[in-house]
Structure 1
Amino acid sequence: MPVSRFLFFSSKHCTRESVSLLQRFGPSKGIQSRGYVKSSKPGYGKLGGDPVMPIESQTRSWGIYAIPAAVLGFVGVATLVHYNDERRAVLKGQGDRSGINAVKGPIIGGSFTLVDMDNRVVTEKNFLGKWVLLYFGYTSSPDDGPEQLQIMAKAIDKLESKQGIKVLPVFVTIDPQRDTPAQLFAYLKEFDSRIVGLTGPVGAIRQMAQEYRVYFKKVEEEGDDYLVESSHNMYLLNPRGEVLRCFGIEYTAEELSEAIFKEVNGYPT
């Protein structure tokens, strides 16, 4: 038999077997799962057997995954922006020390309106012309708060007695719901009578904390009790109300007083 006739015969034979198998078992599952767009010509876009999934249903199925992915993407971008915002933060008195505005970023510090232990309104203008050591805490703090206040009291005492430098210690509560003016007075007098306590509405406290990049979070305890997580930072403000230094909990009273002395001594009069 010639080669061409053999190939033609084999092709026809394979085609008949394929058609026979399709008729016996029906269309395959793989074919049924495909979706085609409906055509204007009759007969297009249809397959034998079960109907195919419409395009709209497939779009909804993808939407189930697309929405959470979009939300996660937004959270990731917001976290990255917040992280970069923290790293680029500039102390208020250090933004243009080089003579040009080369450093760009959010400024630490700002205006505020609170009340003191005598229920008198206090703003940032009340501290102009004074060196201020500012601390954010709360009177119910079980450990770090009292320790930081002791360090603050000892540091300002060293500065005044040994260096003749007066620094006003200011305590701003991050728990205004419990820290009333009377509560602040009773608490702070146990450490140093020179410490000025400030409180106010929750919104005003939150605004000031944001301006000074202070982290705090309410942590629920058993019953109605709660604690407040905080960054426990101290800020040194110059007589113009600008933040020159930020001190963490790693400073001892001696180290804190020495660091403040260097800033005060090197500040242009």
Structure 2
Amino acid sequence: MPISRFPFFSSKRRSSEAFSLLRRFGPSKRIQSCNYGKSSRNGNGKPESNPLVNVDIQAPRSWGTYVIPGALLGFVGLAAIFHYNDERRAIPKGQGNKSSGNFVKGPIIGGPFTLIDTENQTITERNLRGKWVLLYFGYTSSPDVGPEQVQVMAKAIDKLEAKHTIKVLPVFVTIDPQRDTPSQLRAYLKEFDPRITGLTGPVSAVRQMAQEHRIYFKKVEEEGDDYLVESSHNMYLLNPNMEIVRCFGVEYNEDELADAVLKELKRTQN
């Protein structure tokens, strides 16, 4: 009869739609559903006792699947940023710019130190505060570049004091403390200018200061017990707060060095 069949097909259609909704929006675990369609009826027209429809829907991934890789990527990115910033702040070894120089704002390089001078007196960074300092790392056995740089430093400070009445303290730090004793340093620097303060000390203390100032040096063995020391030959200008404000390379002569120091002092005063 047409009238009796309409509810049947309507019921079947609603059951199919319900099943479809369960597949789309149902829980992530296994679910059960009764289907009262035609195929589930027994001979008496009644639904079967427990017609189960098993629907397996894949459970969502745990939070660890996304958080752990994200944390690793974030750590790698943070490490790269720190490395990049550190490379940007470092002054290139053995380089200087004649036109503008390497300007450094704040105590980016350098740090506290404890050495001894040519009179065997303990010297720290506190003894140099309040003065403009021209700092050079070298050694008394240097055959060529070292003596030239010490001479340039001595003539530059002499020009600043004679022509501009500006006093800058020259400081020579040895990178060969095994041979450069206080007496050896005193005799060596006296040949250039007695105003130069010579510093030496234990190997570990000298190495630490050189590393903090990003000074490269390496012992090169020669015949017998003799050796040379390769170095970056950097010269720094420090303000009275012991902050490095300028770096000079080996390309500066005494006039250019004196003019650059004078320009930096005037810039700071203004």
- 1:151–1:203 Cα change, 3 Å: same
Matches within 5 A, 1:56-95: 85-89=86-90, 94-95=105-106
Q: Retained in 2: the 8 A contact 1:111–1:123?
A: yes
1:215 maps to which residue?
216
Q: Rg bigger for which structure?
A: 2
Report the alpha carbon displacement of residue 85 of structure 1 after superposing the two structures with TM. Answer: 3.9
Q: Please give the secondary structure, in 2, of the residue aligned with 1:266.
A: helix
* Aligned residues between the structures: 179
- 1:220–1:244 Cα change, 3 Å: same
1:206 maps to which residue?
207
> Percent identity over the alignment?
73
| Backbone CA RMSD of aligned residues | 2.0
Matches within 5 A, 1:244-255: 244-255=245-256
Report the alpha carbon displacement of residue 89 of structure 1 after superposing the two structures with TM. Answer: 1.8
How far apart, CA to CA, are the structure 1 residues paired with 2:146 and 2:196?
14
Q: Retained in 2: the 8 A contact 1:92–1:242?
A: no
AA partner of residue 94 (structure 1): K
Q: Please give the secondary structure, in 1, of the residue aligned with 2:150.
A: helix
The question of 1:261 aligning with 2:266 is answered no
The question of 1:144 aligning with 2:155 is answered no
- 1:223–1:85 Cα change, 3 Å: farther
2:155 maps to which residue?
154
- 1:254–1:175 Cα change, 3 Å: same
Instruction: Provide structure 2 residue ranges, at least 5 long, that are not aligned to the other structure.
Output: 1-81, 92-101
Q: TM-score, normalised by structure 2?
A: 0.63
Q: Please give the secondary structure, in 2, of the residue aligned with 1:169.
A: strand
How far apart, CA to CA, are the structure 2 residues paired with 1:93 and 1:162?
27
Instruction: Provide structure 1 residue ranges, at least 5 long, that are not aligned to the other structure.
Output: 1-80, 96-105
Q: Where does structure 1 differ by over 6 angstroms across 4 or more consecutive aligned residues?
A: 81-84
How far apart, CA to CA, are the structure 2 residues paired with 1:150 and 1:83?
37
2:39 maps to which residue?
none
How far apart, CA to CA, are the structure 1 residues paired with 2:155 and 2:251?
15
- 1:83–1:214 Cα change, 3 Å: farther
Q: Retained in 1: the 8 A contact 2:103–2:247?
A: no
1:111 maps to which residue?
112
Q: TM-score, normalised by structure 1?
A: 0.63
The question of 1:169 aligning with 2:180 is answered no
Q: Which has the higher contact order (CA 8 A, sep 6+)?
A: 2
How far apart, CA to CA, are the structure 1 residues paired with 2:89 and 2:108?
9
How far apart, CA to CA, are the structure 1 residues paired with 2:243 and 2:265?
13
Matches within 5 A, 1:220-239: 220-239=221-240
